[in-house]
A and B are shown apart, each in its own frame.
Chain A
């Protein structure tokens, strides 16, 4: 058994039981049985966790040392949007969250709800089965301190920001943030999960978000990793969509030394539609591994995946996407588009769009290209007198446009654009294009 596994088991034994104990117990047993993922696991073949497995982890503290610097987070929302922000420190809820209503979104503690409404929570915590392979989600279920349950019941115009603050006192701490977003039929909302770090030490952040969209519900969801180079993210997002629901999801990897970000979407009923956008930026020696699995489980469902990966210095960016069309899901319509841009000879981008189709009469397209800046485009700009740095920066900027223009929260777009630019070579020049 690895040091990490032993330490997680020790944490498990040390905690006090709560209303979710049976589910947690099963999850922990399954996790211990499976162990940590290795390079032999198909979806982990690009991310080596051996050094992580050799560490012993402790539970991350629920408070920060000193006040969180507001400048450390991006200004994803403007004051005039009347957005509300809920901050989680290492996945722990702020004190006194019982049941609050913010801009029409009910916010509750998962722990409290599991006592007061066990039936509701059972929907989101099914017992672990032998088919369950998602080790980090199992570990999250076993060890999360408390989580946020958000119930959207109407059409909410103000964005809600969940600020995930990662902060540590010692090296080798781990946090397990848990979020449930439950959108009632016909409701709509914009939710932005914003991951930042405070201080030099950030715990291993093993977060999970579950999104459930009722009939005709609409959600625009962002997850933005803007932590420092010392932060590691193992973040999983599950989306379950009912009849006619629409989800627009943005995964933006700007920070973190290690980002492993997964998305599993289930288009369970006819008319469900998902637009997934990923902007994955690797620089210095960062490692960004993004895995999307979209399952068309019902007829006439639609999915679009647009990913743009940029790697500079000695960074590595991976984007693997898979579309599964179940038997009977005729009329499914899916597209996967992934483009990678290498900005240094030592950087690496791996992309692999995959299709698994068990139905007839489907429309599934996929494409992936990775390369350097287009020499024809570059020559065109140079031939107009632009200097080389400007021309290159302009093309990098243009490369990102496909994802950025999809964002309907303009303040988020501007802040993300700004943060992106800061990370790219020649940021001084890039700034001029805005």
Chain B
């Protein structure tokens, strides 16, 4: 589904990604772990199409298409979803409006008719209940005045409504208490499907207790320096990132 080859990118003139190679197949959950500043968020943003992040080398294909040639909105409509580490607040733009516009943009691209307003509201209510979100969400601006946990729930809610083929969740677990973490994990697990894939970008291992990954990769210095199964995450938790960074030098 997603093939990243030798991807390098820079942000504000600074080289952040340095030859990333990664292959994610349909039905798989991958975790990308790494210390702060290793390039995890940059990788997520580059995949989602952030324009001020400059790709200097390499290629990315998504279902055989050249992902890097697509604009951010085209990637989203093709089924790629980024859950933001820091979801931005947009006062004056209603949550429901955004969700509806997003869903319709995707449907339009797929040649499907726009969603019926009544059915849409029913769908939202159902997903909100699943994510244990309060009714007030419906009338508020996008992430406006939301707590950190509410913002992350909103990211997962958007994901559930849009049903992406590939979800990239950038530190969706950070800043969550244990109850919120469980709700978010249930949301992510509900999307697991032989036709979809999930990439979890995370600093800590604890999310991986709830969403069990098929593969774990360690990103360090802008490259994947180690890959393994879920036991790698546990080992990292025990031994710390110095262990892999040391391995990289050696």
With the chains together, A36 CA to B105 CA distance in Å? 55
B121 close to A (CB within 8 Å): no
Q: With contacts A375-B52, A385-B77, A398-B141 known, is A380 near B88, CB below 8 A?
A: yes
A382 close to B (CB within 8 Å): yes
| Stretch of B91-99, B181-189, B216-224, B232-240 that contacts chain A | B91-99
B158 close to A (CB within 8 Å): yes
B82 near A383 (CB under 8 angstroms)? yes
Q: With contacts A380-B84, A380-B87, A433-B97 known, is A386 near B102, CB below 8 A?
A: yes
Least distance between A413 CB and chain B CB atoms (Å): 14
Least distance between B228 CB and chain A CB atoms (Å): 30
Tell me the number of A-to-B contacts counted with CB atoms below 8 Å.
77
B92 near A385 (CB under 8 angstroms)? no
B50 near A379 (CB under 8 angstroms)? yes
Q: B51 — which chain A residues lie within 8 A by C-beta? A: 379
Q: B115 — which chain A residues lie within 8 A by C-beta? A: none
Q: B84 — which chain A residues lie within 8 A by C-beta? A: 380, 383
Q: A383 — which chain B residues lie within 8 A by C-beta? A: 48-49, 72-73, 75-76, 81-82, 84
A384 near B90 (CB under 8 angstroms)? no
Q: A382 — which chain B residues lie within 8 A by C-beta? A: 49, 71-73, 76
Within 8 A of A (CB), among B46-94: 48-52, 71-73, 75-77, 81-82, 84, 87-88, 90-93
B92 near A397 (CB under 8 angstroms)? yes
- Specify the main secondary structure of chain A where it touches its partner: helix
A398 near B87 (CB under 8 angstroms)? no
B123 close to A (CB within 8 Å): no
Q: With contacts A381-B98, A385-B76 known, is A401 near B92, CB below 8 A?
A: yes
Number of interface residues of B (CB under 8 A): 31
Q: What interface size band does chain A fall in?
A: 20 to 34
A398 near B72 (CB under 8 angstroms)? no
The contact of B92 among A375, A376, A391, A402, by CB within 8 Å, is A402
B102 near A398 (CB under 8 angstroms)? no
A42 close to B (CB within 8 Å): no
B109 near A385 (CB under 8 angstroms)? yes
B101 near A398 (CB under 8 angstroms)? no
The contact of B91 among A376, A379, A388, A398, by CB within 8 Å, is A398
With the chains together, A266 CA to B188 CA distance in Å? 59
Q: A376 — which chain B residues lie within 8 A by C-beta? A: 88
A362 close to B (CB within 8 Å): no
B162 close to A (CB within 8 Å): yes
With the chains together, A397 CA to B49 CA distance in Å? 24
19 A-B pairs within 8 Å (CB atoms) are namely: A374-B88, A377-B88, A379-B50, A380-B90, A380-B142, A382-B49, A383-B48, A383-B84, A384-B162, A385-B77, A385-B105, A385-B106, A386-B98, A388-B73, A394-B98, A398-B91, A398-B141, A401-B91, A402-B91
A80 close to B (CB within 8 Å): no
Known: A391-B73, A433-B97; 17 extra A-B contacts, CB below 8 A, are A374-B88, A380-B84, A380-B88, A382-B72, A382-B73, A383-B72, A384-B76, A384-B102, A384-B162, A385-B76, A385-B102, A388-B73, A394-B93, A394-B98, A395-B93, A398-B90, A400-B92
Least distance between A240 CB and chain B CB atoms (Å): 34
Residue of B75, B76, B87, B101 with most partner-chain A CB within 10 A: B101
Least distance between A327 CB and chain B CB atoms (Å): 38
Least distance between B48 CB and chain A CB atoms (Å): 5
Within 8 A of A (CB), among B102-122: 102, 105-106, 109
Q: A401 — which chain B residues lie within 8 A by C-beta? A: 91-92
Q: B97 — which chain A residues lie within 8 A by C-beta? A: 394, 433
The contact of A399 among B71, B87, B92, B142, by CB within 8 Å, is B92
With the chains together, A5 CA to B141 CA distance in Å? 52
A387 close to B (CB within 8 Å): yes
Closest residue to A400 on the B side, CB-wise?
A: B92
Within 8 A of B (CB), among A275-320: none
Q: With contacts A380-B87, A384-B158, A395-B93 known, is A390 near B72, CB below 8 A?
A: no
Smallest CB-CB A-B distances: 5 pairs:
A398-B92, A401-B92, A385-B76, A385-B105, A384-B102
Q: B52 — which chain A residues lie within 8 A by C-beta? A: 375
Least distance between A431 CB and chain B CB atoms (Å): 13
With the chains together, A379 CA to B93 CA distance in Å? 14
Closest residue to B50 on the A side, CB-wise?
A: A379
With the chains together, A382 CA to B102 CA distance in Å? 9
With the chains together, A119 CA to B87 CA distance in Å? 63
A398 near B93 (CB under 8 angstroms)? yes
Q: B88 — which chain A residues lie within 8 A by C-beta? A: 374, 376-377, 380
With the chains together, A402 CA to B92 CA distance in Å? 8
Closest residue to A404 on the B side, CB-wise?
A: B92
With the chains together, A398 CA to B90 CA distance in Å? 8
